[in-house]
Amino acid sequence: MDKPWNNRAWLLVLPVVAIVAFSAILPLMTVVNYSVQDIFGPGQAYWVGTEWYRKVLEDERLRDALLRQMLYSLAVLAIEIPLGVAIALCMPSGKGWRTSLTLVLLALPLLIPWNVVGTIWQIFARGDIGLGGAALQRLGLDYNYTGDPLDAWLTVLAMDVWHWTSLVALLAYAGLQAIPPAFYQAAKIDGASRWSVFRYIQLPKMRGVLIIAVLLRFMDSFMIYTEPFVLTGGGPGNATTFLSQFLTRMAVGQFDLGVAAAFSIIYFLIVLLFSYVFYTFITKVGTGDAR
Residues 114, 227: Cα–Cα separation, whole Å: 6
pLDDT above 70: residue 3: no
Mean pLDDT of 173-184: 89
Question: What is the pLDDT, as a whole number, of residue 288?
Answer: 54
Question: What is the pLDDT, as a whole number, of residue 71?
Answer: 92
Question: What is the pLDDT, as a whole number, of residue 75?
Answer: 94
Mean pLDDT of 160-174: 93
**12 or 106, greater pLDDT:** 106
pTM over 0.85: no
What is 61-290's CATH superfamily? MetI-like (1.10.3720.10)
Q: Which of 88-92, 137-141, 280-284 has the lowest mean pLDDT?
A: 280-284
How confident is the model over 267-282, as pLDDT tens digits?
888 888 888 888 888 7
Mean pLDDT of 72-101: 89
How confident is the model over 208-245, as pLDDT tens digits?
888 889 888 988 888 888 888 888 888 888 888 888 88
Question: What is the pLDDT, as a whole number, of residue 42?
Answer: 66
Residues 130, 172: Cα–Cα separation, whole Å: 32
Long-range contacts of 58-62 (CB under 8 A, 24+ apart): 61/238, 61/246, 62/246, 62/263
Find out whether 82 and 92 touch, Cβ atoms under 8 Å: no
User: Can you give the residue ranges of every domain in the chain?
Assistant: 61-290
pLDDT above 60: residue 286: no
Question: What is the pLDDT, as a whole number, of residue 167?
Answer: 93
41: left (phi over 0), alpha (psi -120 to 50) or beta: left
Mean pLDDT of 153-161: 92
pLDDT above 60: residue 291: no
Query: In one letter, which amino acid is 119?
Result: T
Residues 197, 205: Cα–Cα separation, whole Å: 11
- Per the prediction, the chain carries an average pLDDT of 84
> Can you give the length of the chain in residues?
291
How confident is the model over 28-69, as pLDDT tens digits?
888 888 888 877 666 677 787 888 888 888 888 888 888 888
Question: What is the pLDDT, as a whole number, of residue 4?
Answer: 62
**Is residue 171 very low, low, confident or very high in pLDDT (cuts 50, 70, 90)?**
very high
pLDDT above 70: residue 19: yes
pLDDT above 70: residue 290: no
121-141 exposure pattern, b = at least 16 Cβ within 10 A, e = fewer:
bbebbbbeebebbbebeeeee
**Is residue 158 very low, low, confident or very high in pLDDT (cuts 50, 70, 90)?**
very high
Question: What is the pLDDT, as a whole number, of residue 80?
Answer: 94
